[in-house]
Structure formats: structure tokens, C-alpha cells
Amino acid sequence: MAGDNDYKNDDRVKLSKPLKKAIERAKRTRLKVGLIAALLFVVSLGIFFAVIFSEGKDGSPTFSNLPIAQDGNQPNVSDVANLDVNPLNGKNGDEQSLPAPTTTSNVSSNATSNDFNVDAASTEDIQTSFEDIIVISTDASEESTNSNDVTNVDSSNVSTNSSSSKDVAVKSIDSNSQSQTNQVVKDEGTDAESNSSFKDASDNDLAKNSTSIALGSSSIDASKYLFVSAFGVSIFDAPGGKVLDTLKYASYVQKLDETKFGTETFTKVAYRTPDGKIIGWVRSAFLSSSLKPIAGSGYEDISFEPVSKTFGRVSDVRGIYLTRTSVNTKEKIANWISFAKKTNLNAFVIDVKDDDGLMLFTTSAAAKFVPKANEDAFYSKEEMKSVVSELKAAGIYVIARIVAFKDPSYARAHMDRAIVYKDTGAPYMGIYKVPWASAYDKQLWEYNVSVAKEAAEVGFDEIQYDYVRFPELTEYDRNRVNLRKTGDDSFAECIQKFLIYSKKELAPYNVPLAADVFGLVSTAVDDLGIGQYWEAISNVVDYICPMVYPSHYANGSFGLSIPDQFPYETVYRSVLDGVRRNCNIPTPARIRPWIQSFTATWVKGHITYDENAIRKEIKALKDLGINEYMFWNASNRYVEMWYN
């Protein structure tokens, strides 16, 4: 074979020096032209979006009548129906099963290391961009049984020990506001009196489409709450005056006044930020009294009235999840108490009604609605009182986890109320391979709340609903199934009304109400097609618990190559959106997230979630002013470390 020198000595091709120089000049010229063309394209694209989605340079509105909801430019999450879901082989992964695009906070997309450390003071500098995309991973294996409420989960192969999944909540950026127990939160200028204020709202009222909730002797005019329906909308100190701030798309504002300035109408609004309340003027053309232009139909009757809040006796919860079988003997309970003392944990989230619809202790509610749910109960009510008292005496805050609408025991007992296929009458099984009950079922509302009341009666400190949602239905299945819908309520309206009903019924027990939600709910501007709309839930419950497990986010989410490798960055970015969303509503819930305490071996490129990774998750929350959290591990295997 000829060598390199042989080729160089080949005299078949010879170029003159002038020709060689001409070729080199041509190459350089072509490169410059290409670079200039690329630069011009980027600049043009930026100008295009600036013109379409913001106000003009002179402050005048540009395309003020642009039908954002129809042109596909709004940051709505795609309907679940269009998703190709690849179920995990575990029961405990309901959280974030929707691989849908949505908006995320615009932290540098080039972040690739665990050194991503954003100071809490810089929170407002991190702007949310509608161009960012977050996707939930659908690639998982049997190891997924170690995740809380995870996306794409198949529950068919999981034992009772790992039978639970969860919907999680996130806490407010203002940690000082969460330090007192049993306190009532009031919004400025409102008359939200106390938890008993729901007594004036009857069950029938809760089932109706209404725009206000009676709060004692007062009711707030829902027409005063508006939504920003365009991008980059300026807020002025006076009509036509100095720009004070820029409002984000889908932001919630309170209307204070309205006036004409020249040919334009301006609305005086107030809204909250992590740094306090801002009052100013905005062009009325960029405000909507309905969420329909932003998130689509189905949000017209969402209530944003102030709701009284109840906080627990422990202000900074550091909790772990425990299945029914993990606490079914006194010996096991003693071991968990010992573990908590060695690790500085102070709360247990215990299955009272688990993912199979089975009871921890015998309840009158199950005896009435689903007798079989009592058959495998481990305690009587009196015995349960003794167990809870022992836990409290050991300094444990005891939270009752109640799986609300993924209840196969109830569905089998009441197939005439379960979600079924219209053509065959066969039960809808979904990705978990179990029959689903319907969140529209008012009898199931009564059942869940009755279980919650009995949990409070035996001494549980807090009620936490998981699977407080509809199943992930594809567009194809949504048209094929009978959801047992009897009124006009959308998914989001139905879920909020169930929570309002629960708050009313639980008010005499003075226990906080928490709701677990998909981690993606804090970022999406709609309800993800499952009925979980952040503002609708957070405004009602006392604690909102988003499940923000880094392993559940697809590669590229938040600009991270493999989110599982970045526990700090992923948790920070996920919860930050919830902190901001809480500023949109008059009485937001405290954010108490579920975070990852398992190693996601099914994720290619995963890391071990040891003490180092867990501390990064905790630090992310603390940097947002959140000092409480709960750990999810479906098998209840937790790292022995000092939690702070």
C-alpha cells in the first residue's frame, strides 16, 4: 500500500500558487457569508417574537387582538391524549407521567454541573421563557417502583410493600409565614375569617357552577381577578407613564380600577411577587377575565376566592413515606421511631387508604361503601388511636395518606360508577392495569372525606390526598370511555370542587388538608389533562405537595443533559415555578415538596441518590426559602443520615 509520502509525490494534481490563494480566499469568503446569514436569521427571529408577543417600542400594544389560544404560541401543555406513554413496571410512579412540553424558568440551558447554585435573592432575575421545553421521561424499568407518583407507571407487578404512589406539594418562598401552627391566613383587603367560614357553603352549592365561595359574611367579586393573556406586558406607574415591571404570560392580577388614556383603556392592577405586592397600570387589551384564551376551555368556573388556611402543629416537616405493611406491628413502629430519632426526621406519611383502596385500620366509611377494604386492615380504631398517640409522644407529626380516585377496590364494588368503555362496558384500566373510579362520583367524594374524618378522629395530624386527579387519558380513550359525568364541570373544576367540599367537611376537625400533584403542574399553564391546575388547588388546600423527582424528567429538561444527575438544579427549577405561581392567588397553600430518596437505575446515566445527592435536593429547597420536605421511596428504604 502506498504511504502518505507517495501521495504527496504524486504529480497527477498540481495547482499554481495564484490558484491556491484564490481557492483559500473563496473558502474564507463563503464562511463569512454563512456566519452573517446565520446571525441575520437569529436577529430576525428575535425581532419577530418581540413584535408578536410584546408591546411596541413606543409602548403601544402590538397585535392586541391576537388569538393566542388558537395560534399555538401559548405555553400550553399538549393534551395527554397525544402522548405515547410507556408504563413503568411499578405502582408507585404516578407523578409526572406526562411527557408534555411546557414552560420552564429560563435558567441557563448550558448548565451541566452540580455547581448550579442560585442565591435566593436572585430568584426574580431568573425569567420564565415560553421557549423553554420540559419533557417527562417515559423510559423506565422495574426499578421505577422506587418513585413516588411517577409518570407512566404500571401497577400490576408491585407488592403491598410498594403499593403506593404520590402526588406532591411545594412550599412558599416566604418561610417566615409558615412558622406558626393552626394559623389562619388572610389576604390583604379580604375578609377570610377562619376555617369555619366554609360552614355557610352547602353541599349543593359546592356541586354547582359558581364564581364565588361564601366566606363568613362576605363574598369577593370574582370579576376583579384577571389574567395576563400576552407575553412581555408592561406595567406602568400611571397610564402612559414609567414602566415598573413586566408581567408574565398567564399571571394572575387583581383589578382595582379602570380608566381611559387617549384612545386606550388602562386597568389598575395589584399582584404579588416574592418581594412583595406591586400596584400599577396595564393596558386592558392584554387582560382577560377568563383562563380560556390562555389554557383553553374548562376553567371558567374555577374559584379564586380567598380561603382560610389551617397549618399543622409542626412548622418544618421532615418526613418519609411509609406503607401500611411498614407499620403493621408495634415492633416495626418502634424501629421507625428509633430511625427518626437517629436521623432528625419528625414526620411520617402513612397509608390510611392505599393505592389498592385497602384500609390501615377498620373504618365505618369502608364498612358502608367498600366492606372488602376493611378485610385486610391491621388495626381497630381504638388500636389505631394507641399507635398514633405513641408516634406523637415520640415527637412524630403523623400524616394520613388517602389515595382519592385511583381506588380499584371502590371501582370493583361500584362498577356502575367506575370509568368504563362505552362500547363494551369493560372497566378502564389505564397504565396501572387496575380499574379507575371517577372523580365526578359524589359518593366517592363522601367516602374519601369520611375516611379522612375517621383518620382525624384517631389522632392523625394532617390529611393528605394522593391521586386527587383523573387518569392519564389519551385523546382516543377520552372519546371511548364513560367518565360518569353528570354536570358541566371540567376536570379542573371538578377537582377543585372536591377539595372545597373536603375543606368544608374537615373544618370542625381543625386538621390541615394537603394535596399531592404532579411536579409538572407548577410549570404548565393548564391542568395537564388530569384536572390538576396549580392555582385552583393551591388556593384551596393548606399544603400543596409537588413531586419533583429528578429521575422523572427527560434528558434536556430545564436545559440539563440528564436531570437525574443534577438534583439541586432540577429541584430548584421545578419548585421555583410553584413559588411564582403562588404569587398569582390570594390565599396560596404552603409548598411542601416530595423529593427523591431512591436511585433510578432505569435511567441511563443515573447517579446514586446517597447522602450527597439528597443534601443537594434539600439545599435547593432552602435556597428558595422552603424548610420542609418529604422523601419518597416506595420500598421504604431510606438513607441513614442527619436530615436538616
Transcribe 323-380 into DSSP letters: -GGGGSSHHHHHHHHHHHHHHT--EEEEEEE-TT--BSB--HHHHHH-GGGGTT--B-
In angstroms, the CA 390 to CA 229 distance is: 53
pLDDT at 65: 33
In angstroms, the CA 625 to CA 196 distance is: 30
* Parts of the chain with a pLDDT under 50: 1-13, 51-222
In angstroms, the CA 250 to CA 228 distance is: 5
CA 553 to chain centre: 13
Please list, in sequence order, all residues whose beta carbon lies within 8 angstroms of the beta carbon of residue 559, skipping any fewer than 6 positions away. 107, 108, 109, 110, 111, 132
Is the whole model's pTM more than 0.75, yes or no? no
Write the single-letter amino acid at 381: K
pLDDT at 431: 86
pLDDT at 223: 53
pLDDT at 532: 97
Q: Which helix (H) or strand (E) holds 615?
A: helix 611-622
The fold of the 145-185+309-632 domain, in CATH, is: TIM Barrel (3.20.20)
Q: Per-residue pLDDT tens for 295-350? A: 777 887 888 888 999 999 999 999 999 999 999 999 999 999 999 999 999 999 99
C-alpha cell at 610: 446517597
pLDDT at 125: 35
Please list, in sequence order, all residues whose beta carbon lies within 8 angstroms of the beta carbon of residue 594, skipping any fewer than 6 positions away. 95, 148, 149, 166, 168, 169, 321, 516, 545, 546, 547, 548, 549, 629, 630, 631, 632
DSSP state of 588: P
